[in-house]
């Protein structure tokens, strides 16, 4: 099954509530998938810094002295904010790539969850309520975010198999469904030089969209072409720095409900995920059409 949720805020006054609202939506979807959970939050871009979110299975060994070691390796000043098994590294936006490659050398066991200007991704094995509490998602503010609770089918229940998947700067994807041509597509994308870490089907979907956008497609165009190039079942929810998009495969057996008011656009696998949002009784609620791309930008 899997449960996915998303919230795109139009009303700035709701931004401090984003993490709390999104966590509540995701926890409601727990019984669609208890294996692992993850959330991507797009924070404000006020300080113009770049961010890398990293994860480690041995954070007590890996995270201490990280600031100094990066400074020595790259000459870049980085602030490290640890949250449980994850840490958010903040630095000058132009240094994101150099810090990322330095991390590969000085902390090879560290996994990169996301990189970009505003995105932070937190994901772990466990129930949504535990994952949300562990990373204190409820206290986070932001402009938009997406979340996923997983019932694994195509790859193992691990942190790296959890969603959201990010393969490009400020981009991420959550998926309900299963792709059937992910092996051949992974080989094709790798030949094009695209970095894909896991054997998971969804990561291939994320890498595909990133690749298309690198080739010059807009998010909308990339989602459009996914309908042609991806085979299988999918309801995708995609986040970019300034917006989010939704697309379902032509068969559309994976559920999806959307709601829109003057304050927000919300997505849920089920209506239950949306019932606590403000003004939901007056919202326009609808089921996204199959093979139709929807996206919203700030």
Cβ nearer to other proteins, comparing 28 with 159: 28
According to DSSP, residue 32 is labeled G
Measured from the CB of residue 82, what is the shortest distance to other proteins in angstroms? 37
Tell the smallest beta-carbon distance from residue 60 to other proteins (Å): 42
Query: Is the Cβ of residue 24 or residue 124 nearer to other proteins in the bound state?
Result: 24
Residues that bind other proteins (CB under 8 A): 250, 252-253, 255, 257, 270-275, 285-287, 289-290
Nearest to residue 147, comparing CAs of 234, 297, 37? 37
Nearer to other proteins, 91 or 273 (CB): 273
Q: At closest approach, how far in Å is the CB of 233 from other proteins?
A: 13
Are the C-beta atoms of 11 and 128 separated by less than 8 Å? no
CB of 280 to other proteins, least distance (A): 9
Nearer to other proteins, 271 or 296 (CB): 271
Nearer to other proteins, 73 or 275 (CB): 275
How far is 111 from 181, CA to CA, in rounded Å? 26
Q: Which of 1, 2, 11, 21 is catalytic?
A: 2
Are 217 and 225 within 8 A, CB to CB? yes
Q: Is 48 left (phi over 0), alpha (psi -120 to 50) or beta?
A: left
Which among 238, 254, 255 has a CA at the least distance from the CA of 246? 238
Structure token pair of residue 51 = 């961010």
Pairing of strands 86-92, 49-55: antiparallel
Answer yes or no: 2 catalytic.
yes
Integer Cα distance of 88 and 69 in angstroms:
15
We find the least distance from the C-beta atom of residue 6 to other proteins, in angstroms, to be 17
Query: Radius of gyration (Cα) for the chain, nearest Å?
Result: 18
- Token pair listed for 277: 């949002």
Q: Catalytic positions, please?
A: 2
């Amino acid at each position: 099954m899997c449960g996915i949720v998303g919230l795109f805020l139009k009303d700035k006054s709701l931004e401090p509530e984003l993490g709390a609202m999104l966590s509540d939506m995701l926890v409601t979807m727990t019984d669609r998938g208890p294996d692992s959970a993850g959330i991507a939050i797009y924070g404000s871009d006020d300080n113009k810094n770049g961010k890398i979110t990293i994860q480690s299975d041995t954070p007590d060994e890996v995270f201490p002295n990280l600031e100094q070691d990066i400074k020595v390796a790259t000459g870049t000043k980085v602030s490290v904010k640890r949250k449980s098994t994850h840490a958010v590294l903040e630095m000058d936006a132009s240094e994101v790539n150099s810090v990322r490659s330095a991390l590969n050398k000085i902390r090879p066991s560290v996994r990169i969850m996301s990189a970009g200007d505003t995105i932070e991704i937190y994901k772990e094995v466990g129930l949504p309520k535990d994952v949300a509490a562990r990373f204190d998602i409820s206290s986070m503010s932001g402009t938009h975010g997406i979340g996923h609770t997983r019932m694994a089918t195509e790859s193992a229940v691990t942190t790296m198999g959890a969603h959201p998947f990010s393969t490009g700067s400020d981009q991420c994807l959550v998926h309900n469904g299963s792709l059937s041509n992910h092996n051949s597509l992974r080989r094709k994308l790798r030949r094009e030089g695209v970095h894909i870490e896991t054997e998971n089907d969804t990561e291939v979907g994320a890498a595909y969209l990133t690749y298309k956008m690198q080739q010059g497609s807009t998010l909308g165009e990339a989602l459009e072409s996914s309908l042609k190039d991806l085979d299988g079942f999918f309801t995708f929810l995609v986040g970019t720095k300034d917006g989010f998009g939704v697309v379902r495969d032509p068969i559309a057996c994976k559920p999806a409900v959307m709601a829109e008011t003057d304050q927000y656009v919300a997505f849920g696998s089920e209506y239950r995920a949306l019932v606590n949002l403000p003004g939901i009784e007056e919202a326009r609620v609808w089921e996204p059409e199959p093979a139709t791309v929807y996206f919203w930008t700030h």
